[in-house]
Chains A and B, each alone.
Chain A
Amino acid sequence: MDEETKTILENLRKATFEYNNDLAAKSAAQSVKKGIDPLKALDVMTTAIREIGDAFGRGELWLPDLVGASDALQSAVPILEKEIKKRGAHRESLGRVVAGTVFGDIHSIGKTMVVTLLTAAGFEVQDLGVNVNAKGFIDAINKYNANLLVMSALMTTTCVEQEKVVSELKNEGLRDKVKVMVGGAAVTDEFAETIGADGYDPTAPGAVELAKKLLKK
């Protein structure tokens, strides 16, 4: 590996640890220009996020760290993914995930944490954002051929929306195709079971383990 390549990859790692969006985007562009394998560049960042996620799980790092690192990653991902597509390459992934906060709910923090850690763990995640209705989830599952649906709801009033999505999945004949994980402050194990979801975990690192278990990875 030449010095320049080494510096670019080091900067991608540094950008993740220092939550530096500008450096992340700049280094991703440099890596494309230099002809570095985009999968390798992405791997450097997801490895760094995984380390941050582990430290978060141990209680050594905090939410602003996780969100900061995630933002840095998201600054580089579109640039690297464009290159991956251009090269006709394929990202090895543990699973194809569609994630979002349900309709009527605009709380994004918990969902973002889970998305970040799933991405870092090696899942290919489509983050639909917040206030996503059943149709939005179903269209995305079809479009990305997803095998895992991750839904978040913070409030008791929006929790029930998760049930609606599960029942729509059944109506569309998609329920056997995707595993469903639910989360959020108002969700419990019992609730997850009642609405026919496949699993629930109260923590973001726990959600990653659950995803691996559900997809038998």
Chain B
Amino acid sequence: MAVKGYTRNFPPLKILSEEQIEQIHTGTLEVLKKTGVRFDSERALKLFERNGCSVDYSSNRVRFPEALVEESLRRCPSRFHVRARNHENDMVWGGNTTYFQALAGTRTVDLDTWNPRTPTRKEYYNGITVLDALENVSIIPWYTPWFGFENIPPVMAMPEGLAARLRKSSKFTCAGYSMGCEVFNIQMAQAVGTELRTMMAASPPLTFYDETIDAAYRIIKAGFVLLPTSGCVYGGTAPATIAGSLISGNAEIIAGVIFAQLVKPGTRIIVQDFSFPQNMRTGAPAFGSIEISMHQAAFNQIWHWYGLPTDGAVCYPNSKKIDYQSGYEKAIISSIGALSGTNTIWIQGAMYGELAFHPVQAIIDDDIAGMLGRFLEGVDVNDETMAKDVIDEVGPIPGHYLNTKHTRKWWKKEQFIPKSADRLTHPEWLKTGKKDCIELAGEKYEEICETHRVNPLLTDHQEQDVEKILKEAREYYRKKGLISDAEWEPYQKDIASTGYPYE
């Protein structure tokens, strides 16, 4: 089953006027030129200096001329192909197409008590199996489904997670960076013949640390896809206003774009809006807020005006449970993202912010994705769908359409049928145990774990390569002192267990 991209067949929602776009663009240019962006990397500073930027080495501040900004944006392909492990799952990002991607969380939750806990290795692998099986998950990003699992030293969470995704899914995946782990991630991806997407995350306001810059260098040199992102919090690490945070966030992202195009012109880039208002009581990002949608709609509009694909709908709910609140938060954010033309939407699985994920939630979210995908395709109007002949043939009562060939041919094409939503009549629902979508998705989860198999499995040779790279990573971090004795012992025990690596 190939992944599904949905083509939007109508104009996107426009929250900004042309004049407002110009104002934000001009404001962004001014910040880049006047305020500048801090890059904590001598290599990067020299690169910028060689290409006409004004560099202050005492504060690591780079100020960008307008011409370089415009030239760098022009160098970005507006539409490009990305390769998955199974080429049937390749995608084309950009234009009017929208794909859905899973959304990670640090821990799993118990569905009875809603208490969070670290998942087991088996749960981790099963979580990936579910994402591989869901028809609207096209991308399984970094940290997904969870940031790690039991007995894994934190420094190994990313390479172990990537290995698990490569083993249990053949869809496009991504990898993060931390402590240089991107070196191992790139090797693993190359060993199994897939590309990766990796973020280049600014540390707002207006800063890129050396670790981020080094990782971006490696990803760009490997020829993979870069995702510059701001991650600002309006009122905390960006101005409290949507317009102001768009300017500061876009300045950060554009600085990343310039860096990438100077390192390797033509680098494939998709820009991300991963920003939230500040919850002014707790200090945490206010996930699930409507301002996120306003920001993302404006972001998608501006960046499509720049001609780049956008990753502009991150549907983190604020609710700690799978409930009405998580439903409306996810539905509203994803809908506005889809209508405003984002090319990818993060939705399946996440619960509270980045702090929890559950495969049952992912199964429910997959129905939201399917509904939106159906909407994006728009209304098909042609001689056959207008059905004039059938209307004439059926006529008034006692005629009906249920027994017509036209109905049999078209109804499944026209109707999206959700996989876990309760659609029974009230009496049937009463009779069959009053199940809600959480229980129905729970049944689906069991069914998928039992029946779904990744296509194809890694070959023996690929599996050996992945295991060899993991071994090198373990030894490297152990030698560097980043895995303590207390962490090493249970980790080794886990690796030596009979169920390793799948159970």
A residues contacting B by CB (< 8 A) are 19, 62-65, 67-68, 70-71, 106, 108-109, 130, 185, 187-189, 202-203, 206
Contacts and interface: CB of A to CB of B under 8 A. Distances in A.
A109 B402 contact: yes
Nearest to B430: A202
Given A19-B408, A64-B408, A185-B425, A202 B403 contact: no
A62 B427 CA distance: 19
B411 interface: yes
B425 A64 contact: no
A64 B427 contact: no
Given A71-B403, A202-B425, A202-B431, A64 B397 contact: no
B427 A67 contact: no
Interface string B384-407: 000000000000011010110101
Given A64-B402, A68-B403, A109-B402, A203 B428 contact: yes
A64 B428 contact: no
- Give 9 nearest A-B pairs by CB, closest first: A202-B427, A202-B428, A67-B402, A67-B403, A64-B408, A71-B403, A64-B407, A64-B402, A203-B428
Judged by DSSP, the binding face of B is helix
Nearest to A106: B397
A108 B398 CA distance: 9
A65 B402 contact: no
A62 B428 CA distance: 16
A160 B339 CA distance: 47
25 contacts: A19-B405, A62-B412, A63-B402, A64-B402, A64-B403, A64-B407, A64-B408, A65-B408, A67-B402, A67-B403, A68-B408, A108-B398, A108-B400, A109-B402, A130-B398, A185-B425, A187-B427, A188-B427, A189-B427, A202-B427, A202-B428, A202-B430, A202-B431, A203-B431, A206-B431
A109 B430 CA distance: 22
Contacts of A62: 411-412
Given A62-B412, A64-B411, A109-B402, 13 more contacts: A19-B403, A62-B411, A63-B402, A64-B402, A64-B403, A64-B407, A67-B403, A106-B397, A106-B398, A109-B400, A130-B398, A188-B427, A203-B431
Nearest to B417: A62
A32 B412 CA distance: 37
Contacts of B425: 185, 202
Contacts, number: 37
A189 B430 CA distance: 11
Nearest to A187: B427
Nearest to B397: A106
A187 B430 CA distance: 13
A92 to B, nearest CB: 29
Contacts of A188: 427
A189 B428 CA distance: 11
B398 to A, nearest CB: 8
A137 B155 CA distance: 77
Contacts of A185: 425
Contacts of A187: 427
Interface in B407-444: 407-408, 411-412, 425, 427-428, 430-431
Contacts of B402: 63-64, 67, 109
A71 B400 CA distance: 12
Contacts of A108: 398, 400
A108 B431 CA distance: 23
A68 B427 CA distance: 25
A217 to B, nearest CB: 22
A100 B407 CA distance: 25
Nearest to A74: B403
A75 B398 CA distance: 17
Nearest to B405: A19
Contacts of A130: 398
B411 to A, nearest CB: 6
Nearest to A129: B398
A64 B412 CA distance: 10
Nearest to B429: A202
A63 B407 CA distance: 10
Chain B CB within 10 A, most for which of A65, A67, A206: A67
Contacts of B400: 108-109
B495 to A, nearest CB: 43
A159 to B, nearest CB: 13
Nearest to A20: B405
Contacts of A19: 403, 405, 408
Q: Which of B408, B427, B428, B431 has the most CB of A within 10 A?
A: B427
